[in-house]
A and B are shown apart, each in its own frame.
Chain A
């Protein structure tokens, strides 16, 4: 698959070979970064970060990745400071911004916004999250983190915990994990179960799926526990949110029955779903996960720009 000029919109657009190739490039870049501190593959290239919806972490991660590749960054971090406020269409914003940049990263509250942006733009567009649909770069960095921690993905038993209904990170991650020989535990309150069509897809692809609301029962089986925040902002109904708020908290007590090698991941930010006492334990992998965003996004930017 040709990477130069490619859009990164949905994990569905990737094959297992694409993913494996990308993870290898990220690993190579991480080693080069460790050795040299910063690189100059993208010297003279400009990344536009269009964050119609705020997400400081993802934006900073992309910006850091571009700077570490030797490129520069322009952009905005909320729609309120843009012509969208004046009624400009998304398509027109994209057509304008592509005149100033070589690659676009977009975060938008509407599902499908990144796909539309990619159709309009002639330069590569990378989806940094579209509503509750996809967040493919998060998924790729999640896979990278797992692979770096275990040396493999095949054969692992992975628990996805929390908001499996609205959580796009777990939707994309589950779809990507279907490429591998893994067993999945989907752990959530009844109200926040993984959408039926995703479970059906996983099963069609041969993934062994267990649905449960019992975290403590599932924990001894797991190699990875991927925790997500119950996202108040995604709930159409506040009452529904209040029913499930604080359903789970991962703390040292809960982890007592876990395998020694269990790793806890979280796309962050967290609220109260992982107790800070876990941070110092051997299980915590979530800050390493944050770091993984940089080499993975460097690989994506460099490949789509055609400079790697």
Chain B
């Protein structure tokens, strides 16, 4: 399946080893589906030695910020990011959930001060599997479903 090779795009990013079914969510969270001039490719439910089944997202002409990589880590902690330049993988790394998540997640508690006053949101990772984070301000714990809804 040549079209799945990470070198198939000239410049851009390939997000590999996304848990099967989470590829669309990655696209949505990173807003990759907005016109940016480059191709966006999603391979879903692909065979994977590591995961059994996986999704792959390729996006041409787009590189990810640290904040975006952290967002991927929250949705797809097994993902690897490949930076492609001139058809070659120039950099490859695994995403990692940081101990503190700042600025990328909204608190699910409607009465949390961070939803009313100017603050930079901050969460502490309580557990990675299953993913649980605690709001720095209201101390409320959020689990995966809430995290996905508030990214």
Enumerate chain A interface residues (CB-CB to B < 8 A). Answer: 10, 12, 89-91, 108-113, 115-116, 130-134, 197
Contacts and interface: CB of A to CB of B under 8 A. Distances in A.
B109 to A, nearest CB: 6
A111 B113 contact: yes
17 contacts: A10-B139, A91-B117, A91-B118, A108-B113, A110-B111, A110-B113, A111-B113, A111-B138, A112-B137, A112-B139, A115-B136, A116-B114, A116-B119, A116-B137, A130-B113, A133-B138, A133-B139
Nearest to B136: A115
Given A111-B109, A131-B111, A90 B140 contact: no
A184 B55 CA distance: 46
A109 B117 CA distance: 13
A197 B124 CA distance: 14
B116 interface: yes
B112 interface: yes
A110 B136 contact: no
Interface residue SS majority, chain A: mixed
Nearest to A108: B113
Contact of A112 (B112, B132, B141): B112
Shortest 4 CB-CB contacts between residues of A and residues of B: A112-B137, A111-B138, A112-B113, A112-B138
Contacts of B109: 111
B111 A111 contact: yes
Interface in B115-140: 116-119, 132, 135-140
Interface string B86-125: 0000000000000000000000010111101111000000
A132 B140 CA distance: 10
Nearest to B142: A197
Interface centre among A10, A12, A132, A133 (most CB of B within 10 A): A133
